[in-house]
Amino acid sequence: MVHFPRFKNWPIAIGLSFLGLLVALMLHGAAPSHAEQQAPPAQVHPLPMALQKWQSDQQGDYFDQVKVTRVGYLVWSHFPVRVFVQPAPKSLPLVRQKWPQAVDQAIQDWQTYFPIEMTTEASQADILISAIDPTQRSQGRVRSAETRFKLYVDDQNRLAHRCTIQVRANQTETYIAAAVRHELGHALGIWGHSRLASDALYFSQVRTPAPISARDMNTLRRVYQQPTRLGWPVTASSPPANTP
Ligand SMILES: [Zn+2]
């Protein structure tokens, strides 16, 4: 069992840059937590029903581009995954008009394939989406959107994660929807990028954004067949043995 004394506070981000630069994975240090806990061993969860049912004539995926995080693959194990959409800031009245529809569209796109639902309680959300310009830069360029996750231990003592998606909202409704669709793909588990512009998880923003493709879904299904430490119980670490 790997010892994770500080796993509660590792935000990790992945971003969609304007010019399609590389996947950025970052690990930040964090203050050590008092109670040291041991992360559970990585195991495979049952495949969600929606992914069991997923069938397509189109073969192929980009699973080899999906990064494994320190806790394994970013697999959800409770369904539906709950999404909270923060209203756009009052200081941006034009954005406030198009923001809800654009985000709704992206969520509906995924609902065709995956059990996610909106929640009106931010505290209940697994994924939080906000119209905030991403802070991270990629080779000097501001990203158009970004997804991060944080780890915590849930009320059933399981290692859990929560994602935040930040999207630049001064774009057209179509581009906001495409950016959210792309970032939701990361948040649902595709922690990497496709090299084909016909996939929603293509690494760059393009003029005509792709819908969720068979390759996106084939990739997602493979992700959910992988082991993860998420969703399994943590154990308190035993005190160090006294050696004479
Ligand atoms: Zn991305």
pLDDT at 131 over 50: yes
Q: 235 vs 112, which has greater pLDDT?
A: 112
**Residue 99: predicted pLDDT:** 96
Q: Closest Cα to residue 82, out of 102, 110, 101?
A: 110
182 C-alpha to ligand 1 centroid (Å) = 6
Q: Closest Cα to residue 53, out of 99, 111, 114?
A: 114
Give the whole-angstrom CA distance, residue 172 versus residue 180. Answer: 12
pLDDT digits (tens, 9 = 90+) for 8-41: 444 567 755 433 222 222 222 333 343 457 889 9
Q: 163 vs 34, which has greater pLDDT?
A: 163
1 C-alpha to ligand 1 centroid (Å) = 31
Q: Residue 244, SS3?
A: coil
Give the whole-angstrom CA distance, residue 170 versus residue 240. Answer: 54
188 C-alpha to ligand 1 centroid (Å) = 12
CA dihedral angle for residue 199, residue 189, residue 124, residue 134, rounded to 10 degrees: -60
pLDDT at 237 over 70: no
The second-level CATH assignment, the architecture, of 3-236 is: 3-Layer(aba) Sandwich (3.40)
SS3 per-residue string spanning 145-199: EEEEEEEEECCCCEEEEEEEEEECCCCCHHHHHHHHHHHHHHHHCCCCCECCCCC
Let me know how long the chain is. 244
**Residue 12: predicted pLDDT:** 64
Q: 182 vs 92, which has greater pLDDT?
A: 182
Beta strand 12-17 with 141-153 is antiparallel
Q: CA-based Rg of the chain, rounded to a whole angstrom?
A: 18
14 C-alpha to ligand 1 centroid (Å) = 6
In this prediction the pTM is 0.83
Q: How many Cα atoms sit within 13 Å of 177 on the Cβ side?
A: 20
Q: Closest Cα to residue 147, out of 111, 106, 94?
A: 106
Label residue 150 by pLDDT band (50, 70, 90).
very high
